Structure formats: structure tokens, C-alpha cells
Amino acid sequence: MFEDVISMLEPGERLIWSGRPLLKPFVLKRLSGLIIPIVFIVFSTSFTPFFTTGWTMPLVSFFILWFGILGFMLFLSSIYPLLLWRNLYYVLTDKRMIVRKGVLGIDYDILDLKYIQQINVNVGVWDKFYGTGTVIIQAIGVSPVSLQSVPNPLNVQKIIKAAAEARKSTEALRS
């Protein structure tokens, strides 16, 4: 699971929430962009049997080669979300938000809660169908952190907001 993230926690740091994206909406959001290229490939290659005379054969071979490469790239882009999903975990502690992600290697996005400025929720078509959404955390001086396809996104937003406010008030008391 996410034992490596748990081992990163500092002494006294407590886990508030952890989660990961739901598989179906996470994958379906990315695959819906493949519909137009697939229709284009099927439509274009359906005409190749009609152009197999001598002088058009090199031209047809050229297009088949490039459509084959495009088809292979579409295949790779269709398995990418599955590879990304298996390493994607979200962990919220009383001090920071940690996003564990990666396809081949593992990367960690760590955001201290005291720097959070705004927390937005986006609910798309697939999200609405599955009851998920994307929580976007914006902070000072860093790129936004996205928690994609999380169940109950409004509840997750409230949890993160409460943790950020508690962290900011703790920091204010210390200074």
C-alpha cells in the first residue's frame, strides 16, 4: 500500500486522511480523449483495400506505417492510466499533504499545510456518475496539487481545509 509514505512521517505527526482515486473514473477520464483518434484511424484505414494498385502501393504502405505507429501510441496511452493508478496515493497529516505517484519510479509531492491558499473541487461527467471529483490545492509559490477521482470530494475538501486552518493557527501561536 503506502507504507513508504507512512515511514516519511515525522515523530508526532498524525495521519488525518488517506485515500486514492477510484479506478473506473480515473481511467475513463483519460480514455475518453482517445475516441476521435480511434475513429480517424478506423475511417482512414478502411479505404486501403481500394488503393492496392501498383503505383499507390508505396503510398498506402506509408500511411499504414504511420497509422500503425499512431495506433501503438494510442495503445500505450490507454495503459498509462492503469500504471499511474497503481502507485497513486494521497495522505493528509496534521502538517502536510503528501501525494505519492509515478509510473516506473515513485515521486512525492509534499505540500506544507501552512502554505495552502485555496482548495477547489471539480466534478466532471465521469466523476458525477461515480460520485468522485478532483480536489485542487493551490499554495504559495508552487504548482497546484491535484487529488484526482477521490470519493466524496466535498468532504475531502472540508477535511483538508480544517487541517490547513489548524496548522496555520498552530504556526501563529508559535510565532
Where residue 1 falls among pLDDT bands split at 50, 70, 90?
low
The most confident of 23-37, 55-69, 120-134, by mean pLDDT: 120-134
* pLDDT score, position 171: 79
147: domain CATH number is 2.30.29.30
Specify whether 12 is located in the same domain as 57.
no
Strand order in the sheet with 15-19: 15-19, 89-93, 96-101, 107-112
- pLDDT of 80 reads 84
For residues 110 and 139, membership in a common domain is answered with yes
115 and 70 in a single domain? The answer is no
Q: What is the pTM of this model?
A: 0.79
Do 113 and 140 lie in one domain? The reply is: yes
Tell me, yes or no, whether 77 and 100 share the same domain.
Answer: no
Express each pLDDT in 7-18 by its tens digit.
899 999 999 999
Q: Do 51 and 134 share a domain, yes or no?
A: no
- 107 and 152, same domain (yes or no): yes
For 126, the domain range is: 1-21+88-174
Predicted confidence at residue 174, as pLDDT, reads 79
Query: Do both 170 and 113 map to the same domain?
Result: yes
Give the tens place of pLDDT for each residue, 114-173: 999 999 999 998 899 999 999 999 998 889 999 999 999 999 999 999 999 999 998 778
